[in-house]
A and B are shown apart, each in its own frame.
Chain A
């Protein structure tokens, strides 16, 4: 099926993937609803902001958006890989343990309470959604801890229960909200990539990059964990520590992604599978390549989302679903002929 993975091969693949990512990002920076002439951009930032809209659009709108899409895509894809490995379930994705409803609850609470203050220029929805996401993960983890054995199933069930409960609370709050509040929350939740200032991008990007590196470090252990906690333990893995680290990192990275851009679905589910189908299930390869592939995917999807129904901006989550579904289907059909899934 595939040749054996060696360090050299892996480095080559990662390097190639990163080159593709940079190229895609450059191309997508040039695409948009307004025509931007690169020559004007390089003329620099003239004094008096009205003088050089090309520069403004390119440097302050397009480039940050493309970078943010890459960061969020990488975060969701790598988190998806981890959740699939730990829960030993190919249908797992980053929101499976209730993060989505927790973030949604945080967001709608912020809107209804009329919170005004911002953190680092991020809207209150983002901050509350982040807190909601992390709080929910902690809650689900805590519930699962109460069970003595069969952690995996308990985690999944706890996630389902928390999701259901929080969704009910969200529905209650929505019914009370003004229509503008309601629409605001829904649009925010649908997932949008917007410009952020470079400091926020640096923080988030650095965090996601470090998280992916950390997950790569434990990827051989993740390989073993897919055979179940008993097997993994007998192979010498400290399953409790690995599980805690992996969940914590994957959840944190997902919470960051959600707070930056709302709930963008499909990336965390599809990208890991696509990479797995093309390159195999070894997590030492799967994690870094999924991160890069997720970045490429979301950059492309966001570019489509912001140009296809100009001048409106379609929420990027719609594109990821519409594009992601059939793409995955084709990949699946072509490759199940070569290997069993």
Chain B
């Protein structure tokens, strides 16, 4: 193959590329804006919960696989997982609005759908402020602004009431464990820390470059938390899980939380998910921190009274 052919082919490629580039910008699909989208897709469980909270349930035509609350959401058609949404399923559902979160995979999905002319909404939900903004944005896009404001107000009121309730009491030092081996905990710069504050506790972890720092036994003893809380994905058998946790932490003798058996396992969905149930999540935390104040919920009438 002569060198000339190669050079000619190269030149043709360059020329055609320039031509195609010029014609490219004029051929992107127009985005159709729909005021009241009747077919909505959610790609994350907290987004699903928000949509249900805004009374949009009949309009939801697709959810991500692990959307499990409210229970009706499990009946909805699945369009892939949280980390790997299936774009074909999304398109097949003929959506008029697709709501996604803002991390790489989902932004990427939103862009691809945008290019095809679909109406997408991407929201960042990384802390409480984001949550309120997101609910508002979703409400606006779906034509449910009033419902959105109501939900936001309700959450804010509940959280305010909660923090008023616990204001008078001393805040126990709290450690929120994300992972046991290696031991990773929630640092002060996280929404969980904020929740702990609202719920009447004090995060004993100091700030570092990590949001969720791994800590060693040394720092654990230095912090000496009075309460240790773990969030579990598995909502059943919270009692069993608590027993198992108590066994595990026994090796940290002398730790205030261990000595007083103030180790709790609560279900993660209402807390870590950063959705509209965040207020009930905060209440669960308060139960762990100030058991005398609250009605016991999932996992623990035994908070203070079991001798095992």
Asked whether, in the complex, the Cβ of B29 is within 8 Å of the Cβ of A49, the reply is yes
A41-52 vs B, CB cutoff 8 Å, 1 = contact: the mask equals 000000011100
Chain A residues with CB under 8 A of B89: 33-34, 311
A118 touches B88 (CB 8 A): no
- On chain B, the residues within 8 Å of A184 by CB distance are 103-105
**Alpha-carbon distance A312/B84, docked complex (angstroms):** 6
Query: Chain A's nearest CB lies how many Å from the CB of B217?
Result: 19
Chain B: CB-nearest residue to A185: B104
A312 CB contact (under 8 Å) in B16, B81, B107 = B81
Q: How far is the CB of A312 from chain B (nearest CB, A)?
A: 5
> When the two chains form their complex, are residues A206 and B13 in contact, meaning their CB atoms are under 8 A apart?
yes
Q: Report yes or no: A197 in contact with B211, Cβ–Cβ below 8 A.
A: no
Q: Tell me which of A54-62, A154-162, A323-331 binds B.
A: A54-62
Contacts of A176 in B (CB 8 A): 209-210
A210-227 CB contact bits vs B (8 Å, 1 = yes)?
Answer: 100110110000000000
Contact present for B111 and A118 (CB under 8 Å): yes
| A313→B211 contact, CB < 8 A | no
When the two chains form their complex, are residues B20 and A199 in contact, meaning their CB atoms are under 8 A apart? yes
Chain B residue contacts of A199, Cβ below 8 A: 20-21, 24
Instruction: List chain B residues, Cβ under 8 A from A209.
Output: 9
Please state if B16 and A111 are interface contacts (CB–CB under 8 Å).
no
Q: What string of 1s and 0s marks CB contacts (under 8 Å) between B100-135 and chain A?
A: 000111011001100111100000000000000000
Instruction: Say yes or no: A175 contacts B83, CB within 8 Å.
Output: no
B-chain residues with CB within 8 Å of residue A266 when the two chains form the complex: none
* Chain B hits for A48, CB < 8 A: 32
On chain B, the number of residues with a Cβ less than 8 Å from chain A's Cβ atoms is 47
Pair B1/A216 contact, Cβ less than 8 Å: yes
Verify if A195 is at the interface (C-beta below 8 Å from B): yes
In the complex formed, the residue of B with least CB distance to A126 is B108
A109–B86 Cα gap in the complex (Å)?
Answer: 26
A181 at the interface (CB under 8 A from B): yes
Please, which residues of chain B bring their CB within 8 A of the CB of A180? Answer: 103-104
Q: Nearest chain-A residue to B109 (Cβ)?
A: A194
Interface residues of A in 256-314 (CB under 8 A from B): 306, 310-314
State which residues 102-143 of A face B: CB under 8 Å.
111, 118, 121, 123, 125
Say yes or no: B115 contacts A197, CB within 8 Å.
yes
A57 touches B92 (CB 8 A): yes
* Whole-angstrom distance between the Cβ of A206 and the nearest chain B Cβ: 4
Show 16 A/B contacts (Cβ-Cβ < 8 Å), sorted by A: A34-B88, A49-B29, A50-B96, A61-B88, A61-B91, A118-B111, A121-B111, A123-B111, A181-B104, A184-B103, A202-B17, A206-B16, A206-B17, A216-B1, A311-B78, A312-B65
B residues near A (Cβ < 8 Å) are: 1, 3, 6, 9-10, 13, 16-17, 20-21, 24, 29, 32, 39, 65, 78-81, 83-84, 86-89, 91-96, 103-105, 107-108, 111-112, 115-118, 209-212, 214
A-B pairs with the 9 shortest C-beta distances?
A184-B104, A206-B13, A50-B94, A180-B103, A313-B84, A34-B92, A49-B117, A34-B88, A311-B86
> Which A residues form the contact surface with B (CB < 8 A)?
32-34, 48-50, 53, 56-57, 60-62, 111, 118, 121, 123, 125, 175-176, 178-181, 183-185, 187-188, 194-195, 197, 199, 202-203, 206-207, 209-210, 213-214, 216-217, 306, 310-314
